[in-house]
């Protein structure tokens, strides 16, 4: 497959057009602010070559972002909900107007296929439109207390929230968090992964250009232990939302607890994709391919544990391997490509180490028409005949590896599905409607699909059970996460 090219100079011009400046740094107030800390190099995951450098924002830029956010939030929260909603609609319009170049920027920076990032830009526009509709509908209630009082509640914004997002879907997760936060009247300080800050800065610029107060949405381009920690510890930070690994999530929760301030954690997953023998075979195979290999497996809800009923097991994994071999792997800018590279070299080495360990004592089914000579590419892989206690079955791989496990009956399937500390997502494939509902109720997961996989929309609440975290980041529940309740008592008895 011919590899499209996007050299560094061309990429920098694309970045300059979208961000308003050639320099990469944090976005605070009305423009880019250079960092002063450690130098950070950005690498194109499609070929392993440098794409840019910038300096860690650090405590001083975090202080500036927080100060500007406080000022902007006072003005923003004083607007009517309808007025805020109109700004969010304008953000959506601007995203769509620049959809093609933003999708190209995201494809190269995050290593995601252009066909995926094109869809994601549209999804982020939908997020702002959805929350635009909630801006004037967040309200309290009147409580019939048994005393001579009028008691009512108000839903009020938190103030300034810090949102820490990952490298696997930078733009998507930025929109997922920022849209409900500002819809509820807050200011947002966004700290994207240091490996992929580009699209977050572009989003902040588009939000500013919609007419919101300067500083309402800032982006800290930098490292977690320095930039994010400084923002968490700032007295103006009222809540933290973190999307990422369990290990870092624990550190974030500990920092929040020291203040103390609340946090929402969307952490890892090891989701079970359960296939019963009566499932529609073609649909289940297509679903398993998408569940395991979409985004090169770099998804928190990836169906990386494939549980197949024993009497269908051999037939199913053979058909799945044949389908996986047909997935087009290659450069993210090629619209034919369905599977791009892993996001960085460290993750590539981790996945290769897992493959090496898993190849001992297992059938490993992996074929691809071709893999590019450069970049962090891994062919879609099925590790067959896995036990539930092996690393490939219980550790989050974050790569295109599916661990295939057989089961004998419904009880065993549910036990295997729940044999993990994670609880982010799962699915079941069966024509038995009663069994589908039983399994959906029995599996511990925040999102569960029946005869489908990875259907996600901004209108539906999303979050995890167990070590996959707590709190919800979408739907109306996100408006509750980004606001707080005040109870007001008015004395009505005569003196």
DSSP conformational letter for 227: I
Exposed / middle / buried, residue 139 (Cβ in 10 Å: 0-12, 13-18, 19+) = exposed
Alpha-carbon distance of 224 to 215, in angstroms, equals: 21
Residues 109/199, Cβ–Cβ less than 8 Å: yes
HSE-CB of 437 using CA atoms within 13 angstroms: 2
Q: CA 329: distance to chain centroid? A: 23
Alpha-carbon distance of 299 to 342, in angstroms, equals: 11
Alpha-carbon distance of 291 to 424, in angstroms, equals: 13
Query: Residue 429: which region, alpha, beta or left (left: phi > 0; alpha: psi -120 to 50)?
Result: beta
Q: Which of 90, 120, 266, 467 is catalytic?
A: 266
Query: Residue 7: which region, alpha, beta or left (left: phi > 0; alpha: psi -120 to 50)?
Result: beta
HSE-CB of 429 using CA atoms within 13 angstroms: 27
Identify which of 180, 247, 191, 236 has the alpha carbon closest to the alpha carbon of residue 471. 180
- Mark whether 135 is an active-site residue: no
Both tokens of 390, joined, read: 């092996």
Provide the β-strand partners of residue 364. Answer: 383
Both tokens of 484, joined, read: 């707080």
**DSSP states along 246-295:** HHHHHHHHHHHHHTT--EEEE-----EEEE-TTS-HHHHHHHHHHHHHGG
Which residue, chain included where needed, has tokens 């910038």?
54
Coil, strand or helix at 55: strand
Q: Which of 126, 300, 396, 410 is catalytic?
A: 300
Q: What is the largest CA-CA distance in the chain?
A: 85
Both tokens of 141, joined, read: 């209630």
Alpha-carbon distance of 55 to 261, in angstroms, equals: 29
The C-alpha angle with vertex 305 and arms to 300 and 311, in degrees rounded to 5, equals: 155
- Mark whether 266 is an active-site residue: yes
Provide the β-strand partners of residue 33. Answer: 26
- In 55-197, alpha helices (H): 58-78, 81-97, 99-110, 114-134, 170-183
Alpha-carbon distance of 400 to 398, in angstroms, equals: 7
The C-alpha angle with vertex 243 and arms to 240 and 247, in degrees rounded to 5, equals: 95
Identify which of 158, 160, 157 has the alpha carbon closest to the alpha carbon of residue 64. 160
Q: Quote the radius of gyration of the chain (alpha carbons, Å).
A: 23
Task: For the chain, give percent helix, strand, coil, nearest 5.
Answer: 45, 20, 35
Catalytically active residues, by annotation? 266, 300
């Amino acid at each position: 497959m011919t590899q499209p090219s996007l050299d560094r100079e061309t990429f920098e011009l694309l970045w300059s057009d979208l961000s308003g400046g050639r320099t990469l740094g944090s976005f605070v107030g009305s423009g880019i602010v250079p960092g002063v800390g450690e130098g950070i190099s950005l690498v194109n995951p499609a070929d392993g070559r440098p794409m840019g450098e910038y300096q860690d924002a650090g405590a001083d830029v975090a202080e500036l972002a927080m100060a500007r956010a406080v000022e902007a939030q006072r003005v923003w929260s004083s607007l009517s909900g309808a007025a805020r909603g109109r700004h969010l609609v304008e953000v959506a319009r601007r995203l769509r107007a620049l959809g093609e170049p933003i999708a190209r920027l995201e494809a190269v920076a995050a290593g995601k296929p252009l066909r995926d990032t094109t869809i994601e830009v549209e999804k982020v526009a939908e997020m702002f439109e959805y929350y635009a509709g909630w801006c004037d509908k967040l309200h309290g209630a009147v409580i019939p207390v048994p005393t001579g009082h009028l008691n009512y509640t108000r839903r009020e914004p938190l103030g300034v929230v810090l949102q820490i997002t990952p490298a696997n879907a930078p733009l998507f997760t930025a929109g997922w968090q920022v849209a409900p936060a500002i819809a509820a009247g807050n200011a947002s300080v966004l700290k994207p992964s240091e490996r992929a800050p580009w699209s977050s800065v572009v989003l902040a610029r588009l939000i500013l250009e919609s007419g919101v107060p300067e500083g309402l949405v800032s982006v800290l381009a930098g490292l977690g232990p320095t930039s994010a920690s400084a923002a968490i510890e700032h007295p103006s930070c009222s809540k933290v939302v973190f999307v990422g690994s369990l290990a870092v999530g624990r550190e974030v929760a500990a920092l929040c607890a020291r203040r103390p301030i609340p946090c929402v954690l969307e952490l890892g997953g090891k989701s079970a994709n359960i296939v019963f023998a009566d499932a529609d075979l073609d649909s289940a195979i297509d679903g398993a391919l998408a569940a395991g290999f979409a985004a090169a497996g770099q998804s928190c809800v990836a169906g990386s544990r494939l549980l197949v009923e024993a009497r269908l097991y051999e037939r199913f994994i053979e058909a799945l391997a044949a389908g996986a071999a047909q997935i087009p792997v290659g450069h993210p800018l090629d619209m034919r490509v369905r599977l791009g590279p892993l996001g960085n070299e460290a993750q590539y080495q981790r996945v290769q180490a897992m493959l090496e360990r898993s190849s001992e004592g297992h059938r490993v089914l992996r074929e691809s028409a071709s893999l590019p000579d450069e970049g962090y590419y891994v062919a879609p892989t099925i590790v067959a005949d896995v036990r539930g206690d092996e690393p490939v079955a219980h550790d989050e791989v974050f790569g295109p590896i599916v661990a295939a496990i057989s089961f004998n009956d419904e009880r065993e399937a549910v036990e295997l599905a729940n044999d993990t500390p994670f609880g982010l997502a799962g699915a079941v494939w069966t024509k038995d409607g009663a069994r589908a509902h039983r399994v959906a109720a029995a599996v511990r997961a925040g999102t569960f699909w029946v005869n489908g996989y990875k259907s996600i929309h901004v209108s539906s609440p999303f979050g995890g059970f167990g070590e996959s975290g707590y709190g919800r980041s979408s739907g109306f529940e996100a408006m509750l996460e980004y606001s707080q309740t005040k109870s007001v008592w008015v004395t009505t008895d005569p003196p």
